[in-house]
Amino acid sequence: MSEYSELIKHFEPLREYMRDFYVYGFKGREDFKGKSLRSYDNERRRIESYLGDTMAFRQEKNGKKVFLSVDSSEIYENPFYRVFKAKSFTRNDIMLHFYLLDLLQNDTAMSASELESAIADQYMSFFEKPVLLDVSTIRKKLQEYEQLGLLQSKMIGKKKVYMRTDSMINPAPAVDAVRYFSEVSPLGVIGSTLLDRINEPSIALGFKHHYIVHALESEVCYALLEAIHHHQRIEAVCYTGRAQNIKHSLIPLKILISVQGGRQYVCAYNTLKHRFMSIRLDNIQSIAVCEYSVQFEHALKQLNHLLEHTWGVSFKDGRRLEHLEMILEIQPYEQYILHRVEREGRMGKLEAVSDTLYKFSIDLYDAMEMLPWIRTFIGRIVKLECDNPLVTATFYKDFNLMLNMNGVDTSAVQ
């Protein structure tokens, strides 16, 4: 039986627990259908060690429900970044980290075999029972550090030598910009790691609406951005809510982020189904990057055309536009409402019908996406029409439900 440790080797299992049990699920121990209850208890203890000050629970009939409780106006840095800084390591990892960086200081360049000899002579010779590190172990660590950017290599004749990179970034001169980046960027964990070097409390910035859950998708987001940059196809395994997850063959094209809810989506072309689709990043379990795709440029051009008539991330089959018109009553002294419609109306058109009536019209592939925005004008909407009858039916159904909840007679509302 393995010992419990707060450190983690792989982030993915912990991400699933946080996603299912703490962010979206409001589940309890009895809802866990995974490997074993001991596994659940270990993961719960790890999460509590990282996020203990943001966790809360409520007692229900069927047990305790644990969830995250955060006041976004009172936190200055994303608490989820703590999880990325708890990676486990072996004895060899920690030894090689200090030995290699020490030997390669002052622009020293050495090969893997030279480093093996230097470690044995300069370090291991002082121990009664030295740890023997073979050249293959050292070479793997050198390659890992080169990939991380800590080291660089070059060929001298037929010999490959390694040296330290001059890549130490000091965030102090631009600390406020780095802090802002760390909280709003999809890959803000990079900024958070840089800020750890100066060890100053983050009190300069506060957010009224602080979307923090995107941090759990940092690894997925990075893999997608890499694939987009290199025009590569990917195979993405996605959660389905069922026992069997589904695999998609995709060409990722763009990442879209909701400014209203902070959710992140990847717009991609499905090479097997031959259609465009949008997938939430928190629904992606894993990504395997594949070959270069010659279809990338053409698919991106088609996607940009679809997005010209897309309110959010849904374009259905991208064949038929739905026309929507909304008449709003806006008084002459309410210019701020007009400015808001013009600012938030995206590709829609606003026209004056009279001194107090204005028509907003728009053509979209999926007008249903507009409903949350349309509802914010309740009390000003004089008329709402759409080619898709489901849009108006849903709007009036929700409106009547709201009136019923407030004890208002809905017989006159159609």
pLDDT at residue 241, as a whole number: 66
- CA 160 remoteness from chain centre: 38
Return the closest-CA partner of residue 183 out of 226, 212, 152: 212
pTM here is 0.79
Same domain, 51 and 97: no
CATH number at residue 347: 3.30.70
CATH number at residue 118: 1.10.10.10
Same domain, 223 and 287: yes
Are 66 and 43 contacting, i.e. CB atoms less than 8 angstroms apart? no
How would you write the pLDDT of the chain (414 residues) with one tens digit per residue?
455 566 666 677 777 777 766 666 556 666 666 566 677 777 777 777 777 777 777 777 766 777 777 777 677 788 888 888 877 778 888 888 899 989 998 888 999 999 989 988 888 888 888 888 888 999 999 999 888 888 989 998 889 999 988 766 777 778 888 888 988 899 999 888 888 888 766 666 777 778 888 888 999 999 999 999 999 999 999 987 665 789 999 999 999 998 877 889 999 999 999 999 999 998 898 899 999 999 999 999 999 999 999 999 998 888 899 999 999 999 999 999 999 999 999 999 999 999 999 999 999 999 999 999 999 999 899 999 999 999 999 999 988 888 888 777 766 555
Same domain, 111 and 137: yes
Same domain, 337 and 298: no
Task: Flag whether 147 is in a domain.
Answer: yes
In angstroms, the CA 274 to CA 250 distance is 10
Task: Flag whether 156 is in a domain.
Answer: yes
Q: State which of 130, 164, 198 marks the end of a domain.
A: 164
> Can you give the residue range of the structural domain that contains 280?
213-307
Same domain, 301 and 341: no
Return the closest-CA partner of residue 97 out of 128, 130, 142: 142
Structure token digits, residue 22: 């703490």
Same domain, 388 and 355: yes
Task: Flag whether 1 is in a domain.
Answer: no
Task: Flag whether 196 is in a domain.
Answer: no
Same domain, 116 and 153: yes
Q: State which of 254, 283, 307 marks the end of a domain.
A: 307
pLDDT at residue 74, as a whole number: 73
Same domain, 107 and 39: no
Same domain, 344 and 392: yes
Task: Flag whether 186 is in a domain.
Answer: no
CATH number at residue 272: 2.30.30.520
Task: Flag whether 138 is in a domain.
Answer: yes
Same domain, 217 and 303: yes
pLDDT at residue 171, as a whole number: 74
**Could you give the number of structural domains in the chain?**
4
Same domain, 20 and 63: yes
Task: Flag whether 79 is in a domain.
Answer: no
Task: Flag whether 202 is in a domain.
Answer: no
pLDDT at residue 168, as a whole number: 67
Same domain, 41 and 101: no
